[in-house]
Structure 1
Amino acid sequence: MLTRDAEAVYRQLSRADRIRLARGAPPELRPHLAALERRVQAQERYMYQPAAWAREVIDWQSGDGITAYQGDIMDALARRRRVAARGPHGLGKTTTGSLVVLWFATTRDAAGVDWKVLTTASAWRHLSVYLWPEIHKWARRIRWDVLGRAPFNDLTELLTQNLKLEHGAASPVASNKAELIEGAHADSLLYLIDEAKIVPDDTWDAIEGAFSGGRMDGFPEAFALAISTPGPTTGRFYDIHRRAPGLEDWYTRHVTLEEAIAAGRISEEWAQQRARQWGADSALYANRVLGEFRAADEDSVIPLAWVEAAVERWQAWDTAGRPAVEGRRILGVDVARSGSDSTVFVHRRGLLIAELVAYDRQDTMQTTARVQATIGTGDDDQVEEAGAVPVVDSIGVGGGVVDRLRELGQPVLAYTGAAKTKSRTRDGEWGFTNVRSAAYWRMRELLDPAFGAELMLPPDDLLLSDLTTPTWDVTTGVPPKIQIERKEDVVARLGRSPDRGDAVVMALWAENLASSTIKSPAARTARTTAAASRYGRSFGSGGGAGAGRR
């Protein structure tokens, strides 16, 4: 084995001197010199050519490889040092970031340079569930003979969320820990910012500090790759792409839908289906399919960014092992009105929407039986849990489910969207034209980040579309009243019924329904009356003036 000092001397030699040394070396040293020479050649070839590294060092299978736009992004990083790339969902962002991390680590370590990689994202889950497993995946595909070194040691080098080599390390850092990012120092630094659209400004500022001493030629050097699907027209990632003053030194790359389709990463049929599902003019379609920055329409009830933040909270809860959540167990039921619609069951616990389940082609009796089974009542007449109660849309065929549940002595909250309400907005200034308007606005208030939003929503694309599509207006009067877009108009724009959104909104409106709603017919038995009394106390006597306030 060669000592570190001997390797350092070898690296300083010219190519011709290295050849002469190898020819005259003792036989026992020749294998070590050959391996060292491969490392030196890899360093010289790939140090500032990440796309070539990805094409030649990774063992690609079945003719696969990086796309042209991935190569553009990688090589732009070597040339320009700061790259912000955006594009549609499915273009290969995590693969690009993972390959960049491995390129940087192996080339800098081969050169004997003091290096460091910090990976960050909008949420820790993106690092632990997506990025670092992807780094492991591609590390297993490295052609180690090309790099002239042994594979990473899983016990000492490539750990679960760290890569520790001889001269440096790659690590994850939460995006809300700007002080840890700011404290990074090395001769060669790389910052990878995944899901960059909602990374806080403090993190961007901390990264910027690393570039103060960086050089475009030689050491110290600093690189930053920010990559994401775009979101609303706010935040540093958006400012970079709009070329805001002071941010012109970032190189921006927009991967278009056409490029992703041509590269085989996205199918044209998928894009067309999403246009029908979300609406070709929606913010959701613009962000995830076109790779464009777009906020929800100004008159939308609920901004897309607020719903996406609630999905992030749900995914963090899911990743944490689904810990218990306090609160009453509620079942929201939106009953299908036609053969093409679905009956949707929403399972709620406090401010957690744990699950959405859709059932097709069920009549009212089947739906009634499923409601009983879901909340733990039926032939054995056992209540699974105190306070488990369904909220059912009472308009149209849903009325039949409400009537049958009451006939069976089952407490049920009937949601009537067209009914009048005296509820007010959080500040008490505005009223509502009907319960549907009040319920959707209540949903908006629960998602408003200005008030410490805690509501968690499952990752369901139809739900996101349902919640962000309806618009709102204000009618004149004292007080002025908020009017949410009629469901018929939403159906016309979406081409389908917003069943998932309505079911979630109903489930979250349970506390605002009057306790009298759960009264059954007069022939109710003593047992049923006691159960109704118990449920009524759990919800209080809301529904009067100000019942929607917080």
Structure 2
Amino acid sequence: MLTREAEAAYRQLSRADRLRLARGAPAELRPHLAVLERRVQAQERYMYRPAVWAQEVIDWQGGDGITAYQGDIMEALAEYRRVAARGPHGLGKTGMASMVVLWFATTRDAAGVDWKVLTTASAWRHLSVYLWPEIHKWARRIRWDVLGRPPFNDLTELLTQNLKLEHGAASPVASNKAELIEGAHADSLLYLIDEAKIVPDATWDAIEGAFSGGRMDGFPEAFALAISTPGPTTGRFYDIHRRAPGLEDWYTRHVTLAEAVAAGRISEDWARQRARQWGEDSALYANRVLGEFRAADEDSVIPLAWLEAAVERWQAWDAAGRPEVEGRRILGVDVARSGGDSTVFVHRRGLLVAELVAYDRQDTMQTTARVQAAVGDEEATGLVPVVDSIGVGGGVVDRLRELGVPVLAYTGAAKTKQRTRDGEWGFTNVRSAAYWRMRELLDPAFGAELMLPPDDLLLSDLTTPTWDVTTGVPPKIQVERKEDVVARLGRSPDRGDAVVMSFWAENLAYSTIQSPAQRTARPTAAASRYGRSFGSGGPSRTGGRR
């Protein structure tokens, strides 16, 4: 074996001198020199050519290799050092990022350069569930003979979420730990920012500090690759793409839907279906299918970014083993109005929507039976069902009461005296107030903790309704009518309505427990019990509090 000093000296020789040395070397040293020569040649060929590394070092197993846009982004990283790339879902962004990490680690280590890779993302789950498993996948497909070194050792080198080689290491860092990012030092640094659209500004600033001493030729050097589907028109990732002053030294790349379709990564059928599912004018479609920045904040009741943050919280709860959550158990039920609609059951506990289940072609008796079975012994389970009482839902409410099942009736068209959090605005009806309450619970300015399951139809349902205001004393907020939402979406927003009504349960007074046909009847004992549980003032015949 050659000593480290001998290897370093060998690397300094010209190719002609290395060949002469190999011819005159003792027989026992020639195999070691041959291995070292392959490493040096790999270093010279791939050090600043990541796309070539990916194409030649990865075993594509009969595939075509990286796409044209992946090659563009990877080569731009070597040339411009700071690259921010956005595009639709399904581009292979995480796979490309994994190959970049492996390219950087293997080439710098082969060169004997002190190196470090820091991987970060908007949420730790993106690193632990997506990025690092992907790094492991592509590492298993490296052609080690091309690199002139043995495969990574699973016990000492490629660990679950770390890569530790002779001259450096790659590690994950939470994006809210800017001080750890800022403290990184090495002759060659690479920062990988996954799901970059909502990474905090402090993290970007910490990364930028590494470039203060970086050189475009020689060492020390620094690289940064930021990848993401776009989101709202805010934040550093957006500012980079809009070429905000001071950020022009970032190279930006927008991978279009047409490019992704041409590369075979996204199908035209998928894009058409998402247009039907989410609506071509929705922020969800613009972000995830077109790869465009668009916010739902201006005209939608609930911004998409707030909902995505709620989904992140749900996924963190799920990854933690689904620990018990405090709060009242609520069952929200949106009853199907026609054959094409779904009856949706929302299982809520406190601020957690644990599960959302849709049933197709259910008649009222089947829905009634499902609610009755879910409630069981109400005194024991503590489950409170909230059922939409308009249309066929009124029949479900009536039948449940006939069976002695306590139920809260949600009537979206009813009047309400509820006001916004600041007390300045009223609402034209319960539907408007309920959707606005959902907005207030999701507002990050007030420490939002609500958790929603990852369901694209749910996100579409909740981001679609718009809002307007009416004059009067007080002025009132009016959320878009359900009929108009159905016309724009081409379907009923069953999931969104079911979730919204489940979070309106606390605002229902005991008079709303009676079905529309029973409003003149004396309240039952169950109704009185629910009134004590939910009412924070006298009862109101309109479904709001006095």
Shorter-chain TM-score bucket reads: over 0.9
1:315 pairs with 2:315? yes
Compute the displacement of 1:523 (Å).
Answer: 12
The change in CA–CA distance for 1:86 and 1:524 in structure 2 (over 3 A counts) is: closer
Aligned twin of 2:464: 469
1:406 pairs with 2:401? yes
Give the distance between the partners of 2:292 and 2:517, measured in 1 at CA.
58
The change in CA–CA distance for 1:338 and 1:50 in structure 2 (over 3 A counts) is: same
Compute the displacement of 1:374 (Å).
Answer: 2.1
Secondary structure of the residue aligned to 2:496 is helix
Give the distance between the partners of 1:188 and 1:64, measured in 2 at CA.
31
Asked whether the equivalents of residues 509 and 545 of structure 2 are also in contact (C-alpha less than 8 Å), the reply is: no
Asked whether the equivalents of residues 511 and 542 of structure 1 are also in contact (C-alpha less than 8 Å), the reply is: no
The change in CA–CA distance for 1:431 and 1:441 in structure 2 (over 3 A counts) is: same
Compute the displacement of 1:539 (Å).
Answer: 2.1
Give the distance between the partners of 1:69 and 1:471, measured in 2 at CA.
36
Worse-superposed segment, 23-32 or 304-313: 23-32
The change in CA–CA distance for 1:521 and 1:423 in structure 2 (over 3 A counts) is: closer
CA RMSD, aligned part only? 2.4
Give the distance between the partners of 2:545 and 2:118, measured in 1 at CA.
44
Give the distance between the partners of 1:442 and 1:333, measured in 2 at CA.
18
The equivalences for 1:491-530 within 5 A come to: 491-518=486-513
Give the distance between the partners of 1:165 and 1:487, measured in 2 at CA.
59
Give the distance between the partners of 1:524 and 1:452, measured in 2 at CA.
38
Compute the displacement of 1:65 (Å).
Answer: 1.2
Asked whether the equivalents of residues 122 and 196 of structure 1 are also in contact (C-alpha less than 8 Å), the reply is: yes
Compute the displacement of 1:299 (Å).
Answer: 1.9
Secondary structure of the residue aligned to 2:516 is coil
Give the distance between the partners of 1:281 and 1:424, measured in 2 at CA.
30
Secondary structure of the residue aligned to 1:280 is coil
The change in CA–CA distance for 1:219 and 1:547 in structure 2 (over 3 A counts) is: farther
Asked whether the equivalents of residues 424 and 547 of structure 1 are also in contact (C-alpha less than 8 Å), the reply is: no
Compute the displacement of 1:534 (Å).
Answer: 4.5
Over residues 353-390 of structure 1, what are the superposed CA-to-partner deviations in whole Å (9 max), with x where a residue is unaligned?
Answer: 11111000010000011111223xxxxxxxx8442011
- Identify unmatched segments of 5+ residues in structure 1: 376-383
Asked whether the equivalents of residues 231 and 295 of structure 1 are also in contact (C-alpha less than 8 Å), the reply is: yes
Asked whether the equivalents of residues 82 and 251 of structure 2 are also in contact (C-alpha less than 8 Å), the reply is: yes
Asked whether the equivalents of residues 426 and 549 of structure 1 are also in contact (C-alpha less than 8 Å), the reply is: no
Asked whether the equivalents of residues 425 and 549 of structure 1 are also in contact (C-alpha less than 8 Å), the reply is: no
Compute the displacement of 1:548 (Å).
Answer: 7.7
Over residues 59-108 of structure 1, what are the superposed CA-to-partner deviations in whole Å (9 max), with x where a residue is unaligned?
Answer: 10232311000000000000000000000011111011100000000000
The change in CA–CA distance for 1:439 and 1:527 in structure 2 (over 3 A counts) is: closer
The change in CA–CA distance for 1:11 and 1:199 in structure 2 (over 3 A counts) is: same
The change in CA–CA distance for 1:410 and 1:295 in structure 2 (over 3 A counts) is: same
Compute the displacement of 1:530 (Å).
Answer: 5.8
Compute the displacement of 1:463 (Å).
Answer: 0.7
The change in CA–CA distance for 1:454 and 1:163 in structure 2 (over 3 A counts) is: same
Worse-superposed segment, 71-80 or 523-532: 523-532
The change in CA–CA distance for 1:509 and 1:25 in structure 2 (over 3 A counts) is: same
Compute the displacement of 1:525 (Å).
Answer: 19
Worse-superposed segment, 130-139 or 300-309: 300-309
Worse-superposed segment, 85-94 or 61-70: 61-70
Asked whether the equivalents of residues 438 and 548 of structure 1 are also in contact (C-alpha less than 8 Å), the reply is: no
Over residues 99-121 of structure 1, what are the superposed CA-to-partner deviations in whole Å (9 max), with x where a residue is unaligned?
Answer: 00000000000000000000000
Asked whether the equivalents of residues 415 and 429 of structure 2 are also in contact (C-alpha less than 8 Å), the reply is: yes
**% same residue:** 92
Over residues 208-266 of structure 1, what are the superposed CA-to-partner deviations in whole Å (9 max), with x where a residue is unaligned?
Answer: 00000000000000000000000111110001001011100000000000000000000
Give the distance between the partners of 2:204 and 2:515, measured in 1 at CA.
58
Compute the displacement of 1:32 (Å).
Answer: 1.2
Asked whether the equivalents of residues 407 and 521 of structure 1 are also in contact (C-alpha less than 8 Å), the reply is: no
Asked whether the equivalents of residues 343 and 359 of structure 2 are also in contact (C-alpha less than 8 Å), the reply is: yes
The change in CA–CA distance for 1:520 and 1:303 in structure 2 (over 3 A counts) is: closer
Worse-superposed segment, 74-83 or 292-301: 292-301
Compute the displacement of 1:524 (Å).
Answer: 16
Give the distance between the partners of 2:211 and 2:544, measured in 1 at CA.
50
1:268 pairs with 2:264? no
Secondary structure of the residue aligned to 1:63 is coil
Give the distance between the partners of 2:519 and 2:86, measured in 1 at CA.
61
Give the distance between the partners of 1:324 and 1:295, measured in 2 at CA.
34
Asked whether the equivalents of residues 412 and 517 of structure 1 are also in contact (C-alpha less than 8 Å), the reply is: no
Secondary structure of the residue aligned to 2:225 is strand
Compute the displacement of 1:27 (Å).
Answer: 2.1
Compute the displacement of 1:48 (Å).
Answer: 0.2
Worse-superposed segment, 512-521 or 21-30: 512-521
Compute the displacement of 1:150 (Å).
Answer: 0.6
The change in CA–CA distance for 1:521 and 1:339 in structure 2 (over 3 A counts) is: closer
Secondary structure of the residue aligned to 1:212 is coil
Compute the displacement of 1:410 (Å).
Answer: 0.2
Asked whether the equivalents of residues 121 and 193 of structure 1 are also in contact (C-alpha less than 8 Å), the reply is: yes
Give the distance between the partners of 1:403 and 1:16, measured in 2 at CA.
92
The change in CA–CA distance for 1:52 and 1:440 in structure 2 (over 3 A counts) is: same
Worse-superposed segment, 384-393 or 71-80: 384-393
Give the distance between the partners of 1:522 and 1:385, measured in 2 at CA.
29
Asked whether the equivalents of residues 334 and 393 of structure 2 are also in contact (C-alpha less than 8 Å), the reply is: yes
Aligned twin of 1:91: 91
Give the distance between the partners of 1:542 and 1:92, measured in 2 at CA.
55
Give the distance between the partners of 1:177 and 1:479, measured in 2 at CA.
45
Compute the displacement of 1:19 (Å).
Answer: 1.2
Compute the displacement of 1:2 (Å).
Answer: 1.0
The change in CA–CA distance for 1:178 and 1:508 in structure 2 (over 3 A counts) is: same
Give the distance between the partners of 2:65 and 2:535, measured in 1 at CA.
61
Secondary structure of the residue aligned to 2:380 is coil
Secondary structure of the residue aligned to 2:237 is helix
Compute the displacement of 1:527 (Å).
Answer: 17
Secondary structure of the residue aligned to 2:59 is coil
Compute the displacement of 1:528 (Å).
Answer: 12
Give the distance between the partners of 1:64 and 1:410, measured in 2 at CA.
61
Worse-superposed segment, 152-161 or 19-28: 19-28
Compute the displacement of 1:515 (Å).
Answer: 2.4
Secondary structure of the residue aligned to 2:370 is helix
The change in CA–CA distance for 1:247 and 1:364 in structure 2 (over 3 A counts) is: same
Secondary structure of the residue aligned to 1:528 is coil
Give the distance between the partners of 1:549 and 1:136, measured in 2 at CA.
57
Over residues 315-347 of structure 1, what are the superposed CA-to-partner deviations in whole Å (9 max), with x where a residue is unaligned?
Answer: 111111111110011000000000000000001
In the comparison of the two structures, how many residue pairs are matched? 540
